[in-house]
Amino acid sequence: MQKEAWAHFAPLEVWTTGAAVHLLRHAQVGPGHRLLDVACGTGVVAVTAARRGARATGLDLTPALLERAREHARIAGVEVDFHEGDVEALPFDDASFDVVVSQFGHMFAPRPDVAVGEMLRVLKPGGTIAFSTWPPELFVAQIFGLISRYAPPPPVEVPTPALWGEPAVVRERLGKGVRDIVFTRETMLVTSLSPQHSRTQVERTAGPVVKLVAALAERDPDRLAQFRREFESLIATYFHENTVRQDYLMTRAIKV
């Protein structure tokens, strides 16, 4: 389901491209580093890392996004080894990478303990794990909460991705396998003509919202209209002078 839903994500790369630089700077990525970009999407982090001299690999569930990622690497004139795969079962040997990163991606894995276990497994001792996530009290994570109120409950309980934006939870999930955890905040300013424009863009591109809107349009148009009103009201809280403010958390740690 996630593979299908995220196939529409590509237009959002216009915003994640700038954030990729912040993540790689936070991860202290440099020339020669063997880097894995988990849930790489259209490859903006992996391609940026390759342009900085890293030996980059990218992995994602969605073939359509990987196709675009390969095109980005070709245009940039860099080599990136892209794979289709799942963060809960990474197709790489133990200690294969100097740096493992994820930009708003690994947090959607339904089993956080499995995902972080795999990311640390393929990271060499002394290597760096770093990721960008959405804090639970801020805009994007509040979208997750709004979706959960309108979507039918999943067949099995899945933790909200917003928990990956809470430092205490991140510390617990990384556990004793890491040291020297560092957190910092950054801001993404997404341009939009109005809250209605922003809501429309998200409906067409963000996997969970794409699926929810399609389901409500088919079975309950009135509830869809209500969802859209609430969504636009939420956006308006963060909307100022044709931008939507989206603050996020970056984490960095060293594998012991």
CA distance 116 to 53: 26
pLDDT at 248 over 70: yes
Which tens digit of pLDDT belongs to each residue from 149-187?
998 877 778 889 999 999 999 999 999 999 999 999 999
Strands 239-240, 243-255: parallel, antiparallel or unpaired by DSSP? Answer: antiparallel
Residue 97: predicted pLDDT: 98
> Mean pLDDT throughout 80-97?
97
Contacts of 11 (CB under 8 A, 6+ apart): 201, 204, 205
Residue 43: predicted pLDDT: 98
- Confidence band (pLDDT; 50, 70, 90) for 48? very high
CA distance 195 to 235: 6
Residue 45: predicted pLDDT: 98
In our burial notation (b when 16+ CB lie closer than 10 A, e otherwise), range 177-206 reads bbeeeeeeebebebebeebebbbbbbbebb
Residue 154: predicted pLDDT: 73
- Are 229 and 158 contacting, i.e. CB atoms less than 8 angstroms apart? no
Kindly report which listed range (30-44, 71-85, 126-140, 142-156) carries the lowest average pLDDT score: 142-156
pTM for the predicted model, two decimal places: 0.93
pLDDT at 205 over 80: yes
CA distance 255 to 176: 9
Contacts of 92 (CB under 8 A, 6+ apart): 36, 57, 122
Contacts of 228 (CB under 8 A, 6+ apart): 199
The structure tokens listed for 95 are 């200690």
pLDDT at 253 over 90: yes
- Residue among 49, 116, 60, 130 at smallest CA distance from 91: 60
Residue 28: predicted pLDDT: 97
Report which of residues 9 and 19 the model is more confident about: 19
> Mean pLDDT throughout 47-62?
97
Residue 163: predicted pLDDT: 96
- Are 23 and 104 contacting, i.e. CB atoms less than 8 angstroms apart? no
The structure tokens listed for 22 are 């912040």
Which domains does the chain carry? 2-141+155-188+247-255 (3.40.50.150)
Which tens digit of pLDDT belongs to each residue from 234-245?
999 999 999 999
- Confidence band (pLDDT; 50, 70, 90) for 7? confident
Over its C-alpha atoms, the chain yields an Rg (Å, rounded) of: 18
